Amino acid sequence: MTKIDSKIPEGPLAQKWTHYKEHQKLVNPANKRKIDIIVVGTGLAGGAAAASLGEMGFNVKVFCIQDSPRRAHSIAAQGGINAAKNYPNDGDTVYRLFYDTVKGGDYRGREANTYRLAEVSNNIIDQLVAQGVPFAREYSGYLANRSFGGAQVSRTFYARGQTGQQLLLGAYGALSKEIKRGSVKLYTRREMLDLVIMKDGRARGIIVRNLFTGKLERYSAHAVLLATGGYGNLYFLSTNAMTSNGSAAWRAYKRGAWFANPCYVQIHPTCIPVHGDYQSKLTLMSESLRNDGRIWVPKKKEDAEKIRKKEIRPRDIPEEDRDYYLERRYPAFGNLVPRDVASRAAKERCDAGYGVGTGQAVFLDFKEAIARLGKDVIKARYGNLFDMYERITDDNPYETPMMIYPAVHYTMGGLWVDYELQSNIPGLFVGGEANFSDHGANRLGASALMQGLSDGYFILPYTMQNYLADQITVGTIPSDTPEFEQAEKDVQARIEKLMSINGKETVDYFHKKLGRIMWDHAGMARNREGLEEGIKMIQELRKEFWENVRVPGNPNGINIELEKALRVADFLELGELLARDALHREESAGGHFREEYQTPEGEALRNDKDFMYVAAWEYQGDDKEPKLHKEPLVYENIEVKTRNYKTA
Amino acid sequence: MDFKLKIWRQASPDDKGKFVDYDVHNISSDASFLEMIDILNDELVEKGEDPVAFDHDCREGICGMCSMFINGHPHGPEAATTTCQLHMRKFKDGETIVIEPWRAKPFPVIKDLIVDRSAFDEIIQAGGYISVTTGGVPDANAIPIKKENADLAMDAAACIGCGACVAACKNASAMLFVSAKVSQFALLPQGKVEAKDRVKAMVAKMDELGFGNCTNTYACEAECPKEISITNIARMNRQFIGAKLG
Ligand SMILES: Cc1cc2nc3c(=O)[nH]c(=O)nc-3n(C[C@H](O)[C@H](O)[C@H](O)COP(=O)(O)OP(=O)(O)OC[C@H]3O[C@@H](n4cnc5c(N)ncnc54)[C@H](O)[C@@H]3O)c2cc1C
Ligand code: SF4
Ligand code: FES
């Protein structure tokens, strides 16, 4: 088996990053102008990286699907961003943030990367404030903090319920500054459809489809950075933006990049439940609601049934007949247990027949908080979320409890990267949700924004430079080589194939079917039999797709059905890899819960002896099983324990 | 619920474009406006016709991508709501609904309901940022900011760049959008250093791109999904005059 080199620097944990920076290679300013970099994605990771690399003097080309970089999926994040500032003086430190993150991820993240994330978290907040991000403030004029699930200190910075929007606008501002200066060139409404690797094995370019003209375009560079977000839309219904997709990562995988831990998918516990087949999207209700809301279902099945039939209302159930199951099962953390724990507990109650609404919902009740704090306080804290809930469901949460259910939210898996955030393909870097690196098997709240910005502002600009230092004599990379030729032909052929099938079913029909299979067989709880069956079903569906999909219109111009078809075709392959990964991982960890591996109380049961590794899959061909590489996870600085949220 | 839709169809920027009538049936009152169009599009695709092209992404009211003019209002008749957050229960069963793209010279139609809003990006590129470089900045708490000012800055920063204000304005003025960004920075100490250059550059760019003038009809404020206040325009005007004088 190939040896995996994760390039973790020598030395004590707290000095690794400093040591790296002291010894990395630099590119002198006059030479930076001779280097081209492609950045795909303008979310927090891509936007921040493109701006920073542009500031340094490199020539950057940045691409996104939307009409403007300001609209990347990152804009939707609500709750906040973590940092170990310890402004509230409640005992936070870099080590504690690191420790919580590794523990929250069920000891399946790489120690050195996670430590570095915690280490640079404080610089991120400084940077954002300098950019004019309007964070919430105290009357003193200093920054305000709040707490989030999975942590016992207040380390979350926020800008109302619009933190992601404000952070992204900060990065977009920095990017706009560089666009004006001319160091960054912006390409909007472009979708990367393939990665180009040269004879020497280095990533040197991309093929994109201009979504406006339909034309295929070639772009070359000395290095390529993918910051294309997660693949949660594989499940069709998710909290992700509609154009979030896994294609860029998948195309890189098919060109040789390893895909790590695809089975780690985070299911967020507090989303508005599904209510009809026409539904396209699930809406998240911020996790911060769990600070005051209490989660319950009826204790008696008959009551649950009557509520479902609308014969009685939630408020007709007396206190003693309510099961506050999180408080019952996890007395120390109660309603604030991490997301994976809360999600599984909701599913367990609903599967056992206690669900409300359609049967796939539980209550999130503010009655007691309103009685204790008054309606005004609750309104000031969560008013905009309550309004949003009412707008979508037509129910008033001040009067009747909200109904919530878990939904697919975030993918911890992604392309494998080393400590430098470089994939196994030289010159291909991956940042943000698109890589696998920092969260292990589960992501704590307010940590994705932190990771995206840490990668973009403070890590990639250093590590990419280290790679580029010996590229200054290479000269401009041509885009008329046989490798570009071939990649463009491959994309062309895929498009022509899709346009020519002319079958009976729409792209969404397949996407919804795939989503259903994934949710039922590789969703919140998985087992061997279900996964094996799921894999067969995905293979059959994929076959049917290529025989029976209908893509109308013309590829030479805006064609939204073609755009979707290309993405769904990739999801139909990625879904199978996800299920395979889940099948091979015979343990439960974080977002991955194998029913065969649980404690008698129904808690996740890890198997550290056999599975404390990153599973990195290598593509071997369409009809061949992928090859598994194992990167052992070594914890030198923390003691690996069983996660426990029952006692403090 | 059933609806009669009159939708603007335009194949390309050079095409003349026209309204086409469609009927949709059995729409759940809980469906969002965009989900209603998804259902129509599914039917069109099944019939082998070209689906209606429209911009959308987050479907949560925050990305600012969805943009359509519904029964004479940008984002439809409900106040403080984007199209993706508008639900069919707000319409009457059997109602006729007229759907058009944003109409403003600086926002050319690309296809059907999709328009090109890159003019907004160009205005931001003219100076809608603080020119700090990455790294080497002071500790975040080294710049205390009055809570009231931080809140006002946040009110202005809530703009999602959707362009409804321009579409609502008879002069296609972009003043509400520009003033929101100018105000956010004008209210914060970090933004003060470049305030004069910023407002001059952004206003000049706005004029250059063909956006009209503000004649105080307040349609922008009424139609803004994020309730951005026109007091921002007043603040920007003060800034602008101040910048010109000194
Ligand atoms: C509703 C919601 C709330 C959230 N709240 C929080 C929170 O409170 N705190 C927190 O820390 N995290 C939160 N998250 C998670 C967090 O927002 C995301 O994980 C993070 O923003 C991802 O950033 P990114 O830069 O990696 O990718 P994204 O923001 O997803 O950006 C991806 C970019 O890649 C581009 N792209 C993708 N594919 C291609 C392609 N093939 N060609 C060209 N361009 C492409 C897209 O156009 C886009 O610009 C939330 C997520 C959701 C959905
Ligand atoms: S000011 Fe309001 S209407 Fe105008 S772009 Fe911003 S959010 Fe949209
Ligand atoms: S789709 Fe994002 S605001 Fe409507």
| Predicted confidence (pLDDT) per residue in B132-183, tens digit | 999 999 999 999 999 999 999 999 999 999 999 999 999 999 999 999 999 9
Q: Determine contact, residues B75/B68, Cβ cutoff 8 Å.
A: yes
pLDDT mean over B190-214: 96
Q: Is residue A339 annotated as a catalytic residue, yes or no?
A: yes
Kindly report the number of other CB atoms within 10 A of residue A40's CB atom: 29
Element housing B166 (H / E): helix B164-168
CA A248/CA A505 separation, integer angstroms: 25
Of A58, A2, A63, A60, nearest in space to A26 by CA: A58
Q: Cβ separation of B39 and A278 shorter than 8 Å? A: yes
Q: Cβ separation of A126 and B139 shorter than 8 Å? A: yes
pLDDT mean over B64-86: 97
Report pLDDT for A176.
Answer: 98
Strand partners, A402: A364
Low-confidence ranges of chain A (pLDDT < 50): 1
Angle of helix B195-208 relative to helix B118-125, nearest 10 degrees, comes to 150
Integer-rounded Cα radius of gyration of chain B:
20
Give the length of chain B.
Answer: 246
The residue annotated as part of the active site, out of A70, A116, A155, A339, is: A339
For chain B, say whether A174 makes contact (Cβ under 8 Å): yes
Of A67, A490, A508, A583, nearest in space to B64 by CA: A67
**Residue A422 structure tokens:** 């470089």
Lookup result for tokens 């964070």: A135
Lookup result for tokens 């910005």: A453
Q: Determine contact, residues B59/A242, Cβ cutoff 8 Å.
A: yes
Q: Cβ separation of A242 and B59 shorter than 8 Å? A: yes
Report pLDDT for A374.
Answer: 95
CA A62/CA B213 separation, integer angstroms: 33
Report pLDDT for A645.
Answer: 76
Helix (H, G, I), strand (E, B) or coil at A61: strand
Strand partners, A217: A208
Residues 6 or more apart from A308 whose CB is under 8 A from it? A355, A356, A357, A358, A359
In this structure, the strands spanning A627-632 and A156-157 are: unpaired
Give Cα separations from A342 to A261, A268, A269, A305, A391 (angstroms). 22, 8, 6, 23, 25
Report pLDDT for A150.
Answer: 63
Report pLDDT for A36.
Answer: 98
Determine the residue type at A109.
Answer: G
* Chain B environment of A279 (Cβ under 8 Å): 31, 35
DSSP secondary structure string, B115-151? Answer: E--HHHHHHHHTT-S--PPSS-PPPGGGS---HHHHH
Q: Determine contact, residues B171/B212, Cβ cutoff 8 Å.
A: yes
CA B184/CA A454 separation, integer angstroms: 25
pTM strictly above 0.90: yes
**Residue B224 structure tokens:** 């803004």
Mutate to test the interface with A, among B25, B38, B41, B45 (most CBs of A within 10 A): B45
- The DSSP call for residue A646 is S
Report pLDDT for B24.
Answer: 98
Q: What angle do CA A423, A437, A583 make, to 5 degrees?
A: 95
CA B236/CA B163 separation, integer angstroms: 18
- The DSSP call for residue A27 is -
Determine the residue type at A531.
Answer: L
Report pLDDT for A286.
Answer: 86
Nearest-Cα distance to chain B for A18, in Å, is: 15
Residues 6 or more apart from A179 whose CB is under 8 A from it? A185, A186, B125
Mutate to test the interface with A, among B24, B49, B60 (most CBs of A within 10 A): B60
Nearest-Cα distance to chain B for A479, in Å, is: 28
Determine the residue type at B166.
Answer: V
Element housing A450 (H / E): helix A448-453
Report pLDDT for A152.
Answer: 78
Lookup result for tokens 């560079």: A221
Report pLDDT for A416.
Answer: 98
State whether the Cα torsion A354-A358-A363-A366 is positive or negative: negative
Nearest-Cα distance to chain B for A96, in Å, is: 20
**Residue B169 structure tokens:** 């304005």
**Residue A159 structure tokens:** 């800008």
